[in-house]
Chain A
Amino acid sequence: MKRLFFLVMLTGVFSLLSAQPRITVTGKVTESDGQGIPGVSILVKGTLVGTITDLDGNYTIETEPQSTLVFSFVGFSTVEMPVANQAVINVRLREQAFDVEEVVVVGYGTQKVKDLTSSITTVKSEELARTPTGQAMQALQGKVAGLQVVSTGSPGNSPTIRVRGIGSYPGQNNEAPLYVVDGMFFGNIDFLNPADIASISVLKDASAAAIYGVRAANGVVLIETKSGGYNKKTEISYDGYYGLQVAQNVLKMANAEQFTTMAMESGSAADASFILNAMQRYGRSRVNPNVPDINTDWYKEILRPADIQNHSINVEGGNQSASYSIGTNYFAQEGILDMKNEYERFNLRTKLDFKATEWFTIGGNMILSNAIKYGEEAGAWNEAYFAVPILPVNDPALEGIAEPVNYANAQDLGYRSGQNPFPTLRYSDNRLKIRKLMANFYAKFQLIPDKLDFKTTYNHAFTSLDERNVRLPYFIGNSFQRVDASINKSSGIFSDQIWDNILTYTDRFDLHNVTAMAGTSFRDEAYSGLRAGGLNFPYQREESWYIDQSQEKPEGSVGDGGSRQYGLSYFGRLSYNYNDRYLLYATMRADGSSKYQQKWGYFPTVGLGWVISEESFLKGHRIINFLKLRASWGQLGNDKIQASDGAITTTPVNVAIDDVMVSGTQTTNTFSSLKWELTEETNAGLTGRLFDNHMSVDADFFIRDTKNAAIYVKIPGIGGSVLKNVGVIRNSGFEMALNWDDEFANGLRFNAGVNFSFLKNKVRDLYGQPYIDGGSAEFRQRTYVGHPLLAFYGYEVLGVYQNQAEINADPSAPANAVPGDFKYRDQQKEGEPGYGVINDDDRVILGSYFPSFLYGGNLGLSWKNFDLTASLVGQMGNKILNRKRGEIIWTPDGNLDADLAVNRWHGEGTSNKYPSSAGLRKGWNQKMSDYFVEDGAFFRLQNVQLAYNIKGLQLFGAGMPDARVSLTADRPLTLFSYNGFNPEVASGIDTQTYPIPAVYTVGLSIKF
């Protein structure tokens, strides 16, 4: 009986099996743009049956009608499709955004995103390509949380970069991060073509940056240039754009009528008489007979639209043992200031990697950059700001008198200086030739295959700067002339070498994964410079602009300089994870530097991570695909401070004795003896991928203390200051970046992201001093414990005295107060000492130049062949000192901004914001107060780009290469309330008198 039952069952099973006819399913697997993907793996779920797609993405598989097919491929999200008895199943795979398996570049190595315990943000080359700029860092504006990029409009100049606030004293460019380009250290990367960059990683916290030790206190920016790839089909591509720069947000200055009103109300008979002089000289305006007939808008006169263009050709590819990427790039940018002002750069680049044998790889990388920059005369902007509107550009009365061109002279009207910016523009030539050669050779040995390898790298960066500044003579008036043609030349050579040796061991046993690295680095940085000058050479032709041709070679113009610094470092890293779940990371670096009295510094870091999403209670969670908690701590040194003198020094000086030049010596008594600044940072954060990898979250909370902060301490009594290690500065904050990437059924791809950071800067200790003064005597900045570094310190303005009764009612009003003067807040209450008088005890902290909130956002849409991206950036919480309005303290001769001219007090009830015109000249109203300190918040539409992709086009029967045409507007809109050109003021003290241009370009990209 049992045997019969068994037989029946067996037959039944067989018949069941044979009752389901296996079907053949075919189809095509494509990516989002419709192209077929070869090599995609298709598995019948639950079995070992599978196949892969062919070169066109087509596949054929036999399976049961009720089974499920699983489609997977590296870099794409896996898709499961139930067969449901269909014969044709086409699948579109979505590129996986936010892939945690992605490898990012970290110091001296690479790590997978999922293994990181530190705070690192990486930006890829496609993102960088969107911004038309010659300076790579400019393209990062708004894309990295906690990174502040302060633009400059001048061609060839790099923007100011700050990572997570300021650690040390601003202003000497010692807050810039360390740039590492293919392993070589640089202070600035102006020579790099952004299109040559494969990725930029910003190492934000101490544990990421500490591997670079003494230079990493302000963050590290790692840049990898594009390489080819092994077994990669040769790809030739052209990228280029051409565009126009147009000045934006040009500050409105007072026009002739407003200026005249100000002069008449100023109470100065002299200034009123200058207006009359102008009317006598140039006539009266027909519109208003009390105003001269000249109304010059100086900014309009000196600005021009300027073009910008970039062309790159790149060839890359490789076979099984070699990989190469070779390219050339030409970039040219004119400046918007109407003088010889431009930047032109030509680069050649080659990167080669060879697998000489199985265990030996060798490679070389060279970048040759040849640039020429005609720098603007920054003084011209200043002159245009202060030049009076009642002065014309050319003066007919000076025809024949002024040589070579009859530019107008404000001294003819009675002003102290000539004011006209055109002589500065037309008779100055600043040429700088920048030639850089960066070469890098490495050899890598696989000592134990896949486990132990040794890499030695030698880097040499050679920069030659050749500067020639020529000033041509002119005559406009007795006190507005240049008699001598002068030439000043200086040449500087920087030769920096680095030799790194790194041993890396990677292993896994059981569930333990270990990577250990040990290395040494030796640095030799040398600089030598020479300068000389000459006077009176035949200046009519540029061929004669040489010191050799000069009649006179002033002794004072000759000099030389040099420096040589050495560094030696030992470092190591341990990166361990258990079952991809528990992460441990530690690095240690010992740095020796010849720069300070303290030779050696030791910088350890440690980091921990926990990939919660791998734990059983979260694995396979519907929403959370990946969640990692991480924390780290690290110590860094900062050697960006200038080398300390360490001892008193003697300098030669010249004196005239009996009409003979004699030299003597002066010995300084104040010298800096500096230790390294030490930065200690604790960072805690999380990294997450949610909603089926549609959303990525990165959040960090950090506290960074700079100890032995090198701050300029005023030398009592004599002015001037000296650097001393005198404090502890704390920067703390919270950063977050959220990104969403999605694709809809109709083919619309969508990605959006927002990043923001809250920052706080506070001084924690001044080693016993109650405060340290900084800034200048007239615009005091003071550092108090518990407050931001160099906060603005002055009086609070309550308003303006409107009438005499108000003055009489105020006990703190000074004896000579008149309506139209500022009313300051008396900080003391009645009964307290100091009440009833405005004195230095009534000064308070007015704000900090440090923004407390930075934000950026981006949006991308792509549909069919179109894509549109937009990004925005902004900041809040910072104050700016409008230093231009303070110039009146030294000379009241110049023009004012229109807001001040229109909104001055000129009668009861007319204004409570600004004093009267006469009041502006009174010392009482020139005190450091919040009249000078304005809100620097801004919002900017950073970049908008619309592009069209041309694929698979056929012309005349031949297939055309893929191309992409784009239209970009960079910085088209900036909104701010500050009375200046640009609210991005790196140091908070705005003397800037030039606008930042918006750039509109048309771009073309072709891949052969």
Chain B
Amino acid sequence: MKRYFSITKLTLFMAALLLFPACHDLLDEPAENRTFTGETDYTITDNMDLPLLGMYADFYNSEWEVFPLISVRGDDVNAGGLGDQQDFAETDKYNYNKDYWMSNSVWQNYYGDLFNAHSAMEQIAKYQEFAANKGLADQYIAEVKVMRAWYLYYLTLTWGDIIITNGPDPSQLLVAKLSTQEEVMKHISAQMDEAIPLLPAVHPAERADIRGGITKFTALAMKARANLTLKNYAAVAEATGQIISSGKFVLATDFYNLFKIPGKLNKENLLELQYSDFGKGSGDAINYLNDFFGPQGWTPKVTGAGGGWGFYEPSLKYIKFMLDRNETIRLETSVLFTNRGIAEIKKDAKYATLPAWISNTTRSGDRINDYARALFASGKHYLPSDQLIPGRTGYGSNKNFICIRYAEILLMHAEALTNGANSSAMTADAAVNLVRSRAGLPPINGVTNAQVMDEKFAELAMEWGIRFYDMVRLGNYAALSYDGRTFTPDKIFLPYPQNQVDQIPALKEAVNK
């Protein structure tokens, strides 16, 4: 019996001994379902555009709360959504709350995108090492620089002193110092100077590889915007002049449809956020959450088309301003009326009778019913139900979101010239009159700076807060003190979100000063 034991014991131990060394190696197996960046093959130059496209995905996939927070404070637009999002309504009235979730979210979105931008640039640089066409890599990096400039531009306009990022690691925020708005704008301008020579000098729709992507003219536009805030009018005139002289951009003849499906990748657009239903009535879709802007109650021409939340209401001041100018196409495109809203306008004796074309049914056949949350809805963010791909019901489905267009370039040019800059590209009058004739208005001779600003108000209302930041820059606080609001210089910037103050020492220091 004992012999059996020994043999059995021996066999088992031998088997165990043989098996376990093999098992040890298994402990070093890496995790599954991951692509470790360390294993990316940077010699495959064809893949060099992947980080760039990833950055476009980031740039286009903007959370719904970013645009409203940036744009709502002007006298062109009110918060809307009465009863909903009280703090948003208070922000519109210049009563800021540092604990407001929207404020924190916008900061986080844009700083997150900034770090992603640095990361994308690093990845492209790694491909560049092995690429035959190093110029293409430089171009891609320049495109990301422009997107980065966009984020910094709006961060500093909203919060004033911010941190300029210098790499992809978020922990830099723990040791970084704040830069003033002036420093940030100068930085943006310098960055654009680096990017401009490397970018293709074509209209975005002419780009074969990434149609609708960033071009030299997008960079020039960002340079112009940055310098406008710095009141460096010579630089503004020079940059806008280059865009005008290129002849690549033309104002769209159909203003109404510029902001709708026919306007996608239009000759007027320098930069837009691209979305799509991919031509299908169901299935994959990448869309902006336009519900925010939609009227809460409507009877659409195409039954089943969804409405929205009722936010972002054009202000009475804007509408009356446009009526005073006898505007037609621009007022119709910018504002959707409700019967309740029309009645509200008529309460003012000066506007007791309104032009016949003003009604709560749009020219596309959608009827806007009365709803409690607002009196008007934004027309530039409206998509007629008959432009939806059948099967899709989301408000604004398939619609792009315009960021920069030629009309703004022309008016910036005119503004710079009326502030003393010189340009051989186009005169101030010519620029303003191009915009006015498209709007069906008579030309002006010897345009003044005030008239240019009025023209900007009429043309660019509800677009990216341009009006608000213009008034702030000019110190025109009276304009912003409308409809019961009082604007004072201490209200220019939002307070840093408390959540960020808790985490970032530089902000904490600034708040405690």
Contact surface of A with B, Cβ cutoff 8 Å: 266, 268-271, 273-274, 359, 411, 414, 416, 445, 447-448, 454, 456, 475, 478-479, 481, 483-484, 501, 520, 522, 524, 535-536, 551-556, 560-564, 566-568, 592-595, 599, 643, 645-651, 653-670, 714-720, 773, 777-778, 780, 816, 840, 889-893, 921-924, 926-927
Contact = CB atoms under 8 A, between A and B. Distances in A.
Interface stretch (B99-107, B223-231, B438-446): B99-107
B250 interface: no
Contacts of B16: 501, 520
B435 interface: no
B56 A670 contact: no
B241 interface: no
B23 A647 contact: no
B29 interface: yes
Contact of A892 (B86, B276, B298): B86
Contacts of B298: 478
A777 B503 CA distance: 11
Interface string B373-389: 10000000000000000
A654 B12 contact: no
28 contacts: A270-B82, A456-B12, A478-B305, A479-B306, A535-B283, A552-B282, A554-B283, A568-B20, A568-B27, A599-B27, A648-B36, A649-B36, A653-B54, A655-B60, A661-B278, A665-B51, A666-B57, A667-B54, A669-B115, A669-B169, A714-B503, A716-B171, A716-B174, A717-B170, A717-B500, A718-B111, A840-B498, A891-B84
A607 B86 CA distance: 62
B280 A666 contact: no
Contacts of B502: 773, 780, 840
Nearest to B122: A667
B128 to A, nearest CB: 15
B501 A840 contact: yes
Contacts of B395: 479
Interface of B: 1, 5, 8-9, 12, 16, 19-20, 23-24, 26-38, 40, 49-58, 60-61, 82-87, 90, 95, 97, 99-101, 104-105, 107-108, 111-112, 115-116, 119-120, 122-123, 163, 168-171, 173-174, 210-213, 264-265, 274-276, 278-280, 282-284, 286, 291, 296-298, 300, 303-310, 371-373, 391, 393, 395, 497-504
Given A645-B34, A656-B276, A660-B278, A923 B84 contact: no
B304 A664 contact: no
A705 to B, nearest CB: 27
Q: Name, among A717, A780, A889, the residue most crowded by chain B CB atoms within 10 Å (CB to CB).
A: A717
A483 B60 contact: no
Q: Name, among A456, A483, A661, the residue most crowded by chain B CB atoms within 10 Å (CB to CB).
A: A483
A781 to B, nearest CB: 12
B392 to A, nearest CB: 8
Contacts of A445: 5, 8-9
Given A643-B31, A665-B54, A718 B82 contact: no
Nearest to A595: B31
B276 A664 contact: no
Q: Name, among B5, B83, B112, B265, the residue most crowded by chain A CB atoms within 10 Å (CB to CB).
A: B83
B57 A594 contact: no
B307 A649 contact: no
B42 to A, nearest CB: 12
A524 B278 CA distance: 44
Contact of A536 (B107, B282, B393): B282
A29 B460 CA distance: 102
A657 B37 contact: no
A449 to B, nearest CB: 10
Contact of A649 (B37, B100, B123, B264): B37
B99 A719 contact: no
Contacts of B265: 658
B304 A478 contact: yes
A219 B83 CA distance: 50
Contacts of B60: 655-656
A891 B33 CA distance: 38
Contacts of A651: 35
B33 A661 contact: no
Given A889-B101, A892-B86, A664 B57 contact: yes
A839 B265 CA distance: 48
Contact of B108 (A447, A501, A646, A717): A717
Contacts of A658: 211-212, 265, 274
Contacts of B174: 716
Contacts of A475: 304
B282 A483 contact: yes
Given A647-B38, A650-B40, A661 B286 contact: yes
Given A718-B112, A840-B501, A890-B101, A657 B51 contact: no
A716 B503 contact: yes
A649 B34 CA distance: 7
Nearest to A918: B86
Contacts of A715: 170-171
Contacts of A778: 99, 101
Contact of B373 (A414, A568, A657): A414
B20 A566 contact: no
Contact of A664 (B30, B55, B279): B55
Given A593-B27, A716-B170, A269 B112 contact: no
A659 B393 contact: no
B78 to A, nearest CB: 14
B169 A416 contact: no
A602 to B, nearest CB: 15
A846 to B, nearest CB: 16
Nearest to A651: B35
Contacts of A551: 282
A594 B49 CA distance: 34
Contacts of B61: 655
A654 B27 contact: no
Nearest to A667: B119
Contacts of B112: 717-720
Contact of A716 (B83, B99, B305, B504): B504
Given A646-B31, A650-B36, 18 more contacts: A270-B373, A416-B309, A535-B282, A536-B282, A554-B284, A593-B27, A595-B31, A599-B28, A647-B37, A653-B58, A656-B274, A657-B53, A660-B278, A665-B53, A670-B169, A718-B170, A719-B105, A892-B84
A891 B310 CA distance: 13
A773 B54 CA distance: 30
A273 B375 CA distance: 14
A268 B33 contact: no
The 3 closest A-B pairs by CB, nearest first: A664-B53, A270-B83, A664-B54
Contacts of A922: 86
B286 A667 contact: no
Contacts of A890: 85, 101
A922 B213 CA distance: 43
B23 A568 contact: yes
Contacts of A520: 16, 20
B12 A454 contact: yes
Contacts of A595: 31
B123 to A, nearest CB: 6
A492 to B, nearest CB: 12
A227 to B, nearest CB: 25
A553 to B, nearest CB: 8
Contact of A667 (B37, B278, B300, B373): B37
Q: Name, among A566, A650, A778, the residue most crowded by chain B CB atoms within 10 Å (CB to CB).
A: A650
A923 B83 contact: no
Contacts of A359: 1, 5
A645 B163 CA distance: 29
A288 to B, nearest CB: 22
A270 B372 contact: yes
Nearest to A659: B276
Given A554-B283, A716-B503, A663 B53 contact: yes
Contact of A566 (B23, B33, B83): B23
A661 B56 CA distance: 12
